[in-house]
């Protein structure tokens, strides 16, 4: 007797194997014990939390960014720039091309000012959102 | 004031600050959690079949969740499933590679004879359960053990193709994305896997 298997027999045997193995697998998933399910739930929460925390900039996490903080940083930066020895260097003054003029040129750009203003407003607003109460 | 947890969410709401958009972003986050909750048990079992160790399986599943949430959450939700399984399969392969290297290293060390993968079994695992199991459940358990053993004996790519197509229900295109290969390769791997499993399990299961 030949051991040859007809194509139809073979495909039906394969279909039966697929069906049975799938059923067994899903049964094994459904019968996972409570401890494993609980660990999976914790793992999911930990992953989602870690993902959200790691994507948040450091100044959001530390609570560094406040309106007062933004203002203080801006004032400090301006003070340092104005007080920079480069501004008062003889070479720069002699050339009549002070850094203050450079600053003016930058400041006169509407795009740059708008961009800076937008960013500050956005970070201020976003920081309030990050610190607001729990999600509804 | 809308509540959000990530800078991306804040940017999306800022760019379009309508209440509907803000709600959509929150719904988007919840959808990701629902997706992970729906998929996690099957992913765990598939990782466990490949790795044997439940702790390792849990680690790679959690790592895949983290990477999906961190790097691909902004992608359309229809893409999450194949992306998740691609990350998961990469994690499984990395772990198996590390195990293989560790095993080779351990065999070089003088006086080390033990296989690090074969740790001393927990004696409590062999204690019979107080509740008697009905024969049907026992038979199902045995059948699943046979299936797992056969799946582990398959080449990794065949095992991946079979589990993703048959257990997870991914179509050929999604499986190709998850495996990082062509659709033709998926069909070949899957066909070979089915033939081998049929040869190994046909007699036992019939």
Hunting for tokens 């909750």 — which residue is that?
Answer: B37
Cα of first residue to Cα of last residue in chain A, in angstroms, is 72
The predicted-structure confidence for B36-62, as pLDDT tens digits, reads as follows: 999 999 999 999 999 999 999 999 999
Model confidence band, residue A135 (pLDDT cutoffs 50, 70, 90): very low
- Chain A residues with CB inside 8 Å of B26's CB? 135-136
Query: Which residue in B186, B185, B177, B187 sits closest to B83, CA to CA?
Result: B177
- Chain B residues with CB inside 8 Å of A21's CB? 147, 166-167, 197, 201
Local structure of residue A132 (DSSP, 8 states):
S
Question: For residue B130, what pLDDT is reported?
Answer: 54
CA distance B42 to A29: 6
User: What global pTM score does this model have?
Assistant: 0.62
CA distance A134 to B167: 37
Interface test mutation site (partner A, options B12, B34, B44, B91, max chain A beta carbons within 10 A): B44
Measured at the alpha carbon of residue B135, what is the angle toward residues B133 and B139, in degrees to the nearest 5?
A: 105
CB neighbourhood size of B45 (10 A): 23
Q: Predicted ipTM? A: 0.74
Q: Give the least confident one: A21-25, A48-52, B91-95.
A: A48-52
- Chain A residues with CB inside 8 Å of B5's CB? 52, 56, 130, 135
CA distance B93 to B12: 36
CA distance B73 to B111: 48
Cα→Cα distances B74→A36, B21, B32, B85, B126, Å: 29, 14, 10, 17, 46
CA distance B55 to B152: 18
Chain A residues whose C-beta sits inside 8 Å of any chain B C-beta: 13-14, 17-18, 20-22, 24-29, 32, 36-37, 39-41, 43-44, 46-48, 50-52, 54-57, 60, 122, 125-126, 128-130, 132-136
Q: Which of A57, A125, A129 sits opposite B3 (nearest CB)?
A: A129
CA distance A36 to A24: 18
The predicted-structure confidence for A28-79, as pLDDT tens digits, reads as follows: 999 999 999 999 999 999 888 877 765 555 454 444 555 666 676 677 777 6
- Chain B residues with CB inside 8 Å of A118's CB? none
Question: For residue A21, what pLDDT is reported?
Answer: 93
Cα→Cα distances B66→A44, A115, B60, B63, B86, Å: 8, 33, 10, 5, 13
pLDDT of B156 > 80? The answer is yes
Phi and psi at residue B77, to the nearest 5°: -60, -25
CA distance B102 to B99: 5
CA distance B43 to B41: 5
Q: For residues B52 and A56, is the Cβ–Cβ distance under 8 A? A: no
The predicted-structure confidence for A100-129, as pLDDT tens digits, reads as follows: 555 555 555 555 555 555 566 666 766 776
CB pair distance less than 8 Å for B14 and A13: no
Question: What DSSP line would sit under B162-201, residue for residue?
Answer: HIIIIIS---HHHHHHHHTS-HHHHHHHHHHHHHHHHHHH
Model confidence band, residue B137 (pLDDT cutoffs 50, 70, 90): low
């Amino acid at each position: 007797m030949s051991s040859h298997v007809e194509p139809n027999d073979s495909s039906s045997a394969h279909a039966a194997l697929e069906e049975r193995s799938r059923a067994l697998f899903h049964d094994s998933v459904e019968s996972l014990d409570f401890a494993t399910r609980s660990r999976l739930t914790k793992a999911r929460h930990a992953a989602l939390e870690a993902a959200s925390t790691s994507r948040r900039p450091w100044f959001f996490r530390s609570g560094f960014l406040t309106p007062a903080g933004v203002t203080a940083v801006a004032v400090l930066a301006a003070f340092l720039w104005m007080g920079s020895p480069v501004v008062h260097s003889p070479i720069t003054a002699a050339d009549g091309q002070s850094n203050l003029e450079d600053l003016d040129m930058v400041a006169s750009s509407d795009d740059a000012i708008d961009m800076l203003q937008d960013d500050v407003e956005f970070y201020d607003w976003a920081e309030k959102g990050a610190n607001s109460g729990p999600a509804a | 004031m809308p509540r959000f947890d990530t800078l991306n969410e804040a940017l999306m709401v800022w760019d379009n600050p309508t209440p509907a958009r803000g709600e959509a972003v929150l719904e988007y986050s919840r959808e990701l959690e629902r997706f992970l909750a729906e998929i996690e048990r099957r992913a765990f079992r598939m990782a466990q079949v490949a790795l044997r160790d439940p702790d390792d399986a849990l680690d790679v599943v959690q790592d895949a969740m983290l990477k999906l949430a961190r790097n691909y959450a902004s992608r359309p939700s229809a893409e999450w499933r194949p992306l998740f399984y691609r990350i998961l399969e990469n994690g499984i392969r990395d772990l198996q590679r590390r195990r293989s290297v560790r095993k080779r290293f351990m065999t070089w060390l003088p006086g080390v004879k033990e296989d690090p993968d074969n740790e001393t079994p927990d004696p409590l695992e062999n204690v019979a359960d107080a509740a008697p199991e009905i024969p049907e459940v026992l038979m199902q358990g045995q059948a699943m053990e046979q299936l797992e053993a056969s799946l582990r004996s398959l080449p990794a790519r065949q095992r991946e193709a079979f589990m993703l197509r048959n257990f997870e229900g991914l179509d050929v295109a999604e499986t190709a994305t998850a495996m990082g290969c062509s659709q033709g390769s998926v069909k070949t791997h899957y066909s070979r896997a089915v033939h081998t499993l049929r040869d190994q399990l046909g007699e036992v299961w019939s």
